[in-house]
A = this chain, B = another copy of it.
Amino acid sequence: MLEARLAQASVLKRTLDAIKDLVSDANLDCDDNGLKLQSMDQAHVALVALALRSNAFEPYRCDRNINLGMSLGSLSKIIKCAGNDDVVTLKAEDNKDKIHIMLEAPNNDRLSEYSLKLMDIDAEHYGIPETEYDATVRMSSVEFQRICRDLLVLSESMTIETTKEGVRFSADGDIGAGSVTLKQGGSVDAENKETATQVELNEPVTLTFSLKYLANFTKATPLSDVVYLSMSSDQPLLVEYRIEDIGYIRYYLAPKIGDAN
């Protein structure tokens, strides 16, 4: 049996917003450590991994490992019914075909109860090796979102180039070309020094990715002020949003190869 109570429904709302367009149906894997979800996107191009740690919930109770297969779109629709300050509780009994979602307003005068039908989902599990990356960029998540949106005007692909001096995003298309360069240590948002650009480099890396996918990943922007881009040659890019004190969303995307632009 699972019972997990989260003080702020808004976190769950944003988490679902960040993945529901990539992954329509998936298993929520629940165990002692918390809730996990791992799935390829519908086109089998990108991998999404979500973790919400048990200590983010109060209380959290999960007696036995349990996999809850569900439509993330439907779950998102229900969680959207929560006010941002509502408390949300997820409940599932062993071997039942429903998950229960309770939404409580802070003053206790309104109680919403939903149940969502579960489904069997044939999920492959992908071992994700913990690799050391040649380059990791830590930058403003809002700026990354903006760069993806801006360069999408020009092309379907974006090249990310890391050097000691900073990071350069570029795109080349039919109407012209464009690039955005962020300086090492530079602050895009003058009011939030926390999001200053930091490039950690073992080796310079230049890789090209599908901009449509990158732009899709940036739906996680409301979850964190910063985003981490980790790259190695010929390895999938890792785009990570850390949800403070709660967990993370990680997206993996293989680089484009050859002259595919």
Residue numbers of A with Cβ under 8 A of B are 71, 74, 77-78, 80-81, 98, 105, 107-117, 143, 150, 153-154, 174-183, 186-188, 190, 197
Please tell me if the beta carbons of B178 and A114 are within 8 angstroms of each other in the complex. Answer: yes
Q: Please give the distance in Å from A217's CB to the nearest CB on chain B.
A: 19
Q: Which among B112, B117, B180, B188 is the interface contact of A178 at CB below 8 angstroms?
A: B112
Minimum CB distance partner of A185 in chain B: B109
Inter-chain contacts of A183 with B (CB < 8 A): 108-110
CA separation between A78 and B149, bound complex, in Å? 11
Is B176's CB under 8 angstroms from A109's CB? Answer: no
With A77-B153, A78-B153, A153-B81 as known contacts, state yes or no: A175 contacts B110, CB within 8 Å. Answer: no
Complex Cα distance, B81 from A174, in Å, reads 17
Contacts of A80 in B (CB 8 A): 150, 153
Asked if residues A107 and B176 are in contact (CB atoms below 8 Å), the reply is: no
- On whether the beta carbons of A176 and B110 are closer than 8 Å, the reply is no
Indicate which residue in B110, B174, B188 contacts A188 across the interface (CB closer than 8 Å). B110
**Is there contact, CB below 8 Å, between A180 and B111?**
yes
Q: How far is B130's CA from A97's CA once the two chains are assembled, in angstroms?
A: 47
User: Whole-angstrom distance from the CB of A16 to the nearest CB of chain B?
Assistant: 13
Q: Which of B109, B114, B174, B188 contacts A177 (CB 8 A)?
A: B114
Identify which of A81, A179, A187 gathers the most chain B CB atoms within 10 Å of its CB. A81
Report which of B110, B177, B187 forms a contact with A115, defined as CB distance below 8 A: B177
Per a CB cutoff under 8 Å, which of B81, B154, B180 touches A150? B81
Complex interface: chain B residues within 8 A of A181 (CB): 110-113
Please name the residue on chain B nearest to A187 by beta carbon: B109
How far is the CB of A115 from the nearest CB of chain B, in Å?
5
| Additional A-B contacts beyond A81-B153, A111-B181 (10; CB < 8 A) | A77-B153, A78-B176, A80-B150, A109-B197, A110-B180, A111-B180, A112-B150, A112-B181, A115-B178, A117-B174
**CA–CA, A153 and B78, complex, Å:** 8
Q: How far is the CA of A188 from the CA of B111 in the complex (A)?
A: 10
Which residues of chain B are near A105, meaning CB under 8 Å? 188
Please state if A109 and B186 are interface contacts (CB–CB under 8 Å): yes
Instruction: Give A175 to B115 CA distance when docked, in angstroms.
Output: 8
Chain B, Cβ-Cβ closest to A184: B109
